[in-house]
A and B are shown apart, each in its own frame.
Chain A
């Protein structure tokens, strides 16, 4: 009691300063209601949440938010409920009403209040209702979204009030949308419902379609017809957007293929080495990312956002060094013997996989995603996820950087010279064996860079590389051996084709169809899309 007293006084003072809203419950009553959240099973908690929502008192918002975030704990000794923050050796207990630090506790004397999906829905609906009049426009927007989802008929009156008060256009639109959804669920006159359907049609996304379809199923007569028409028009619109979405997915898959294949375009395309261990270089790059993040997590957590930037050059160096070592120790003895090269590099890929498995263990390693790569944004009805967007950008940057190296540097000049005519290049004083090693190292290093990007969308496990090796060869062969532009076009074409086939044929058959298509294509044009001309390729 002694602890509550100061906060009580504080609240009395507050209540004095702020003109109170409708039917403010006393602090004790509210406190008792919040404490009741900590007792009983899920359905008891659900009832308590509904009661708190019905109170309309926005002072309970922090408690409900904490419950949703899993930060609301109950102290079994006196059944009091607290918002908690993690602290050294336990928790800081915060009073749910005043927001003041009350005490600290070890982690055993308080118990987390459990929530399940049903409670999460209740909580979001309750918070939506309570924050409709929040000062923060973002919170009001979120509230409108929550009401749109819950479609609780009791929210009609608060919504009207909120719409009248609203000053920002965007939020008002969202609120009106929410009102329309609620109206369709409640027993307002037909004319209102049909007007509501107009607003739903304007919104036009999947949630709107869901609302329209539900309305069509539940109502009769004019409303049913209007709802069906609305659903149809939304669906047609979404089909168009769906096609655009497929193109985007295709480009994004293409960019992943491109990343995996660029390195191979050097080792296989330029040098002609069938390198089955290429996928393992990708895997090594992903593990370098994991190691970098481990070091950053333990020694300088504030640098985490830069972990991928740091990993890129490191992965290039590590994978490149391994690639050069492989070239010097194995591949240089096998030039001109493709079958042996294939078998040797395939064996090498198994060795590398098992080595990684022995060192890091067989299970997946967690590679964290920096904030700027998580989540999505929308353009119209197109959902674009940040990680895919960054990977597309990254793959293009890598491709163009590599082109610049090949075209503009003396190293690139030597590489091209050696691949076009080894003897002549040797006669001009180029150390051809050294150029071979560097070229192979460059291809492997780029595979390592690809591993950094792929660690963001795929499992970091010893098997990571396996799943990309076939696709990479497909891209290089299809695009035209030895041509980087061909690799770009090939990757994007395969990506988009795959994504357009997938919805109709399913993922398994889609892949089969693409493979069949490539086989037929290679029959017709054995050198791929962009064949290099000249004599060099014949030898």
Chain B
């Protein structure tokens, strides 16, 4: 309690110091904008990402900064308010004159800032797994596209667990809806009949899961192995898992594979009854590599709390930040156009022992890991793709986007090039 308070005071002092120093040092620093909600509903997830960015910037400065200049973090709080995201993005670029922005979590916040970044021609690194169907010149997507998370997870369940019946459960907004549409088509292409797929949506923050869990139980008693693919978001997960445990659904009977449940979400939960339920990510804190051990150690020292965990979007920021640093070094300038040109093809080590590369479609290559929840709140990797999977901006399983590709290299420079008509349909989203 005391430490939180002290942290808050120190934070306010730091912010005040940063504000006064902007004027004096304006010419000598490279400014990095951080656009994550520090209040409101999304603060639960986004505050951590703000902290990890501060850590990465501090570390880069210890190494001597970038292009001989120090990096300076500019933190703003869009307060989980989607229109405010756009305003704050404009403030960062126009008023604070930042060279790059790391931020956003929900798809709706990203969509809200897209026009701003396009108009003012700046750069955004977006660190969260999302529904795809987008590729924009000014945005770099360091989280997973559906083919880097959802499809391999379904494959794992079908092959390793012999699942024949599927419950696609999600929160009612764009990411689950699109992901489930892709998965539904994918499963039907694989020969799963329509009556073996159940789709269910719940509102944000849904807390009474009794009927839905009972429905899943009912759906699961048709004599075929059943699994739940969950795109349930954030807060609603805890009561969902509690209800599963209470109604005695074990992972051996009906496994749940989740795309939005990571180490942070499990931190508020007794995981003993959940052992064996799955999650698909591109990074787990339990990854046994020297890079990851070093990262975790740095994080715990930086945040001054030995119990804090690391998660997938944090790794995405780690990769994104290092890619940006490398691209700026290659370009020799922080000018957005030069960086956008030089970053394609840049490779940096990720935390799971591989080397991730920035693709021409502004997505990156990532390994896909399937992990089982353990009693200590960590994931145990039970399956990983042999190599890295390149992110696919336009899903091959949706009728509208099958023929689209994205390549931001010259001369194509197009976010949605239709290979059938040979035309670029304008903007990238």
Interface residues of B in 198-228 (CB under 8 A from A): 200-203, 205-208, 210-212, 214-215, 217-218, 220-224
- When the two chains form the complex, which single residue of B172, B201, B217 contacts A206, counting CB atoms closer than 8 Å? B217
Do the beta carbons of A213 and B39 come within 8 Å of each other? no
Which chain B positions have C-beta within 8 A of A249?
Answer: 208, 210-211, 214
- When the two chains form the complex, which single residue of A216, A376, A462 contacts B246, counting CB atoms closer than 8 Å? A376
Binary contact readout B349-379 vs A (1 if CB under 8 angstroms, 0 otherwise): 0000000000000000000000010110000
Do the beta carbons of A210 and B223 come within 8 Å of each other? yes
Of chain B, the residue at the smallest CB distance from A42 is: B382
Do the beta carbons of A358 and B4 come within 8 Å of each other? yes
Which chain B positions have C-beta within 8 A of A364?
Answer: 44, 235, 238, 265, 267-269
Do the beta carbons of B252 and A117 come within 8 Å of each other? yes
Cα–Cα distance between A207 and B223 once the two chains are bound (Å): 8
Do the beta carbons of B201 and A508 come within 8 Å of each other? yes
- When the two chains form the complex, which single residue of B203, B217, B224, B238 contacts A459, counting CB atoms closer than 8 Å? B238
Stretch at the interface among A156-164, A296-304, A483-491, A499-507: A499-507
* Interface presence of B289 (CB below 8 A): no
Nearest-neighbour CB distance to chain A for B128, whole angstroms, equals 16
Do the beta carbons of B202 and A508 come within 8 Å of each other? yes
Which chain B positions have C-beta within 8 A of A458?
Answer: 207, 238-239
Do the beta carbons of A117 and B276 come within 8 Å of each other? yes
Q: Tell me the interface secondary structure of chain A in the complex.
A: helix
Cα–Cα distance between A198 and B380 once the two chains are bound (Å): 43
* Interface presence of A535 (CB below 8 A): no
Do the beta carbons of B1 and A359 come within 8 Å of each other? yes
The count of A-to-B residue pairs whose CB atoms sit within 8 angstroms is 156
Do the beta carbons of B247 and A206 come within 8 Å of each other? no
Stretch at the interface among A130-138, A312-320, A365-373, A426-434: A365-373
Binary contact readout A215-234 vs B (1 if CB under 8 angstroms, 0 otherwise): 11100000000000000000
Stretch at the interface among A17-25, A169-177, A383-391: A383-391
Interface residues on A, range: 35 or more
Which chain B positions have C-beta within 8 A of A246?
Answer: 211
Which chain B positions have C-beta within 8 A of A242?
Answer: 214, 218
* Interface presence of A446 (CB below 8 A): no
Binary contact readout B147-173 vs A (1 if CB under 8 angstroms, 0 otherwise): 000000000000011000000000010
* Given known A210-B223, A249-B210, A354-B39, contact A361–B4 (CB-CB < 8 A): yes
Which chain A positions have C-beta within 8 A of B413?
Answer: none
* Interface presence of B280 (CB below 8 A): no
Which chain A positions have C-beta within 8 A of B419?
Answer: none
Do the beta carbons of B221 and A209 come within 8 Å of each other? yes
Of chain B, the residue at the smallest CB distance from A216 is: B223
Nearest-neighbour CB distance to chain B for A68, whole angstroms, equals 10
Do the beta carbons of A120 and B267 come within 8 Å of each other? no
Of chain A, the residue at the smallest CB distance from B226 is: A210
Do the beta carbons of B246 and A374 come within 8 Å of each other? yes
Cα–Cα distance between A387 and B264 once the two chains are bound (Å): 25
Cα–Cα distance between A40 and B68 once the two chains are bound (Å): 51
* Interface presence of B21 (CB below 8 A): no
* Interface presence of B43 (CB below 8 A): yes
Cα–Cα distance between A387 and B245 once the two chains are bound (Å): 12
* Given known A206-B217, A207-B221, A366-B269, contact A457–B44 (CB-CB < 8 A): no
Interface residues on B, range: 35 or more
* Given known A116-B372, A467-B205, contact A359–B268 (CB-CB < 8 A): no
Do the beta carbons of A120 and B205 come within 8 Å of each other? no
* Given known A209-B221, A365-B268, contact A256–B246 (CB-CB < 8 A): no
Cα–Cα distance between A92 and B44 once the two chains are bound (Å): 39
Do the beta carbons of A357 and B39 come within 8 Å of each other? yes
Cα–Cα distance between A340 and B1 once the two chains are bound (Å): 34
Do the beta carbons of B160 and A118 come within 8 Å of each other? yes
Do the beta carbons of B44 and A362 come within 8 Å of each other? yes
Of chain A, the residue at the smallest CB distance from B204 is: A467
Interface residues of B in 224-266 (CB under 8 A from A): 224, 235, 238-239, 242-243, 245-248, 251-253, 255, 264-265
Which chain B positions have C-beta within 8 A of A124?
Answer: 252
Which chain B positions have C-beta within 8 A of A499?
Answer: 210-211
- When the two chains form the complex, which single residue of A362, A457, A466, A502 contacts B239, counting CB atoms closer than 8 Å? A457
Cα–Cα distance between A503 and B198 once the two chains are bound (Å): 12
Which chain A positions have C-beta within 8 A of B238?
Answer: 364, 458-459
Which chain A positions have C-beta within 8 A of B39?
Answer: 354, 357
Cα–Cα distance between A364 and B43 once the two chains are bound (Å): 11
Cα–Cα distance between A124 and B276 once the two chains are bound (Å): 14
Which chain A positions have C-beta within 8 A of B1?
Answer: 359-360
Do the beta carbons of A214 and B223 come within 8 Å of each other? yes
* Interface presence of A84 (CB below 8 A): no
* Given known A206-B217, A245-B214, A363-B44, contact A457–B161 (CB-CB < 8 A): no
**A-B residue pairs in contact (CB < 8 Å), sample of 7:** A210-B223, A256-B208, A359-B1, A359-B4, A360-B4, A458-B238, A508-B203
State the A residues within 8 Å of B (CB): 42, 70, 114, 116-118, 120-121, 124, 149, 206-207, 209-217, 238, 242, 245-246, 249, 252-253, 256, 354, 357-366, 368-369, 374-376, 383, 385-388, 457-463, 466-467, 499, 502-503, 506-508, 511
Contacts A354-B39, A507-B203, A507-B211 aside, 17 further interface pairs with beta carbons under 8 A come to A117-B161, A117-B251, A121-B252, A213-B222, A213-B223, A214-B223, A214-B224, A253-B208, A357-B39, A359-B5, A364-B235, A366-B268, A383-B248, A387-B246, A388-B210, A507-B200, A508-B201
Question: What 9 A-B pairs have minimum CB-CB distances, sorted nearest first?
Answer: A364-B268, A214-B223, A213-B223, A206-B221, A362-B43, A385-B246, A210-B221, A249-B210, A507-B202
